[in-house]
Amino acid sequence: MVPIDEALGELSSLSAQLNKETEVLNSLILDLEKRLAAAKVGVSIWLEALLAASENGTSSTGWLLGYGKLGDAWRIVAKPITRTWFPIYDDPGEYSFRTENRGEPVALSNAPRIVRVEAAEHLEPLVNEISTKVKGFIANIEKAAQFLNYVPF
């Protein structure tokens, strides 16, 4: 067994390191926000991964990571939600879920530390999903433009 003073000394050192690493993470989040804003993406999206999740029978609570307009600025955001799972009656063994908001979205940089830390591994997929959505928007607009060019007036 480790003496309490030694255990608390180690915990204090780990806590200081965690606080420094969290400051680095906050800087990374804000830098990515600035870079996305500079790209003028202007497209909102939510990922499906549930962060800081806790389960309770047929429901889970946690946070979703996304990108959207918060006030006047485009931000990397998180929102608290509850997902309730229910069976699909015409497809035995399959389930679907309903998502309920438990609060308003907040800037990821202001979300609880556990949410920011878990979100770190989802920042690359977030950017990739934004890119995929932008490509889809472009394709839809090009398709509409092509259609409208061929419609007789």
The CB density around residue 115, as the number of other CB atoms within 10 Å, is 20
Q: Is 78's pLDDT higher than 60?
A: yes
* φ, ψ dihedrals at 71, nearest 5°: 70, -125
- The CA angle 148-150-153, to the nearest 5 degrees, is 80
Quick one: which H or E segment has residue 38?
A: helix 4-38
Q: What does R_g of the chain's alpha carbons equal in angstroms?
A: 21
Mean pLDDT of the region 26-30: 98
Are the CB atoms for 95 and 72 separated by under 8 Å? Answer: no
Average pLDDT over the chain, rounded to an integer: 93
Give tens-digit pLDDT for 40-68.
Answer: 999 999 999 999 999 988 899 999 999 99
**Residue pointed to by tokens 């259609």:** 147
End-to-end CA distance of the chain: 86
Give tens-digit pLDDT for 111-144.
Answer: 999 999 999 999 999 999 999 999 999 999 999 9
Q: How confident is the model at residue 100 (pLDDT cuts 50, 70, 90)?
A: very high
Task: Write down the pTM of the prediction.
Answer: 0.85
Q: Is 152's pLDDT higher than 80?
A: no
> Judging by beta carbons within 10 Å of its beta carbon (0-12, 13-18, 19+), is residue 51 exposed, middle or buried?
buried
Residue 73: predicted pLDDT: 96
Residue 58: predicted pLDDT: 87
Helix axes 123-150, 4-38, angle to 10 degrees: 20
> Judging by beta carbons within 10 Å of its beta carbon (0-12, 13-18, 19+), is residue 101 exposed, middle or buried?
exposed
